[in-house]
Structure 1
Amino acid sequence: MAQKPRIALIISSTRQARWADKPAQWALAKMRERDDIEVELVDLRDFDLPVFDAPASDFFMPATDPRVVRWQETVAGFDGYVFLVAEYNRSITGALKNAFDQNYSAWRTKPMGTIGYGSVGAARAVEHLRLIGIESQMVPVRGGVHIGGSDFFRVSAYNPNPEPMEAIEGMLAGSLKEMLDQVSWYARVLKQAREADAAQQAA
């Protein structure tokens, strides 16, 4: 049997007061129930990335900062990505945008899915992220999970008595499955294509 695609679940908020950990652990558990992908949690907090200040993109010039190199090598080890998206002022977090700017080559020809949360389910931030993904030569999938409105209030820190994520799982399960099915399919197909290209170039 072919090796399963490796998928990163990326937490994109780095604030100490972030809410991201709760949906991240829920999504990670659901993703690990699948038998068609291998999943690893990747937290931007763990990389201490500087603000992008390189002379050029890594597509043209290799990075020299060891923190950036570690980030690029981490991203390169995966076949696809699911981003946990917090919406800040109608866009993605500055930390996530900076993480994209620090890396170009390793994102290319790989799929990306999203789990967004906020007042409108991070819909505006997700659309912005999809545009960034396209510019990075990624394949944003159609499906996505949006935790917004009353569902978000029920489980988030805005509620003085928040409920567990399982309280809204019935609302999210179908969207999560659809998105992961698409990420898994594209990850497998694009992985085969990259390997075929590499073999042809080595011949």
Structure 2
Amino acid sequence: METAMSLPKIAIIIGQTRESRFADKPAQWILEQAQARDDFEAELVDLRDFDLPLFNEVASNAWVPSSDAHAVAWQKKIAEFDGYLFVTAEYNRSITGALKNALDQAYVEWARKPAAVFGYGSLGAARAAEHLRNIAVELQMVPVRNGIHLGGTEFFKVHPLGGQNADMSEVAPVLAGSVTATFDDLVWWANATKAAKA
């Protein structure tokens, strides 16, 4: 007898930890967009909650179990999910150091699961997104084609630096198409990889 697969679980990971971060605004907004759908479950995962040290293990947990309790707690958390949407700024043409460190703190848990990017900044974190996709490949993830980029005048409408600090609803129409396409990609690949692993 066939049983229906449970809905995939997608983590929306806030990839910035500094006190003055802008990340909370787009992260909360994208969580609301995710919760409006009925084809997956979403949860916000904040790197701040895990107090990760800089990577200091003998090797990746692909080869040796991690010893640091914070790293192990992080691994257990991300293992709960079938796919990931990384919310990231662009720091000097790449992702944040905090996000790179968090990615390095696991391996087994990321493998064979889809990953997408919601980038924000003057260029929509496009260069950070490309870097993140390469990292995802090395972690045996499935980086999806579509992504969400909050950039240019839309970014400065909602960021305090732009002087307007508008609500995310002001830029929602511009992002709507990419949000739908990105979630569609994540769900398709999450279901496909779940089925393959089963």
**What TM-score bracket applies, with the shorter chain setting the length?**
over 0.9
Identity among equivalent positions (%) equals: 53
Q: Residue 159 of structure 1: CA displacement? A: 2.3
Q: Residue 48 of structure 1: CA displacement? A: 0.3
Unaligned stretches of 5+ in structure 2?
A: none
Unaligned stretches of 5+ in structure 1?
A: 196-203
Aligned equivalent of 1:168: 171
Q: Residue 160 of structure 1: CA displacement? A: 2.5
CA distance in 2, matches of 1:179, 1:24: 15
Deviating 4+ runs (over 2 angstroms)? none
Aligned equivalent of 1:103: 106
- Out of 121, 124, 134, the position equivalent to 1:121 is 124
CA distance in 1, matches of 2:164, 2:10: 33
Aligned equivalent of 1:201: none
Q: Residue 83 of structure 1: CA displacement? A: 0.3
Q: Residue 100 of structure 1: CA displacement? A: 1.0
TM-score normalized by structure 1?
A: 0.95
CA distance in 2, matches of 1:127, 1:161: 29
Q: Secondary structure of the residue that 2:171 maps to in structure 1?
A: helix
In the alignment, is the contact (CA less than 8 A) between 2:157 and 2:163 conserved in 1? Answer: no
Aligned residues between the structures: 195
Q: Residue 191 of structure 1: CA displacement? A: 0.6
Q: Secondary structure of the residue that 1:84 maps to in structure 2?
A: strand
TM-score normalized by structure 2?
A: 0.97
Q: Residue 157 of structure 1: CA displacement? A: 1.5
CA distance in 1, matches of 2:174, 2:38: 23
In the alignment, is the contact (CA less than 8 A) between 2:156 and 2:164 conserved in 1? Answer: no
Q: Secondary structure of the residue that 1:92 maps to in structure 2?
A: coil
Q: Residue 31 of structure 1: CA displacement? A: 0.3
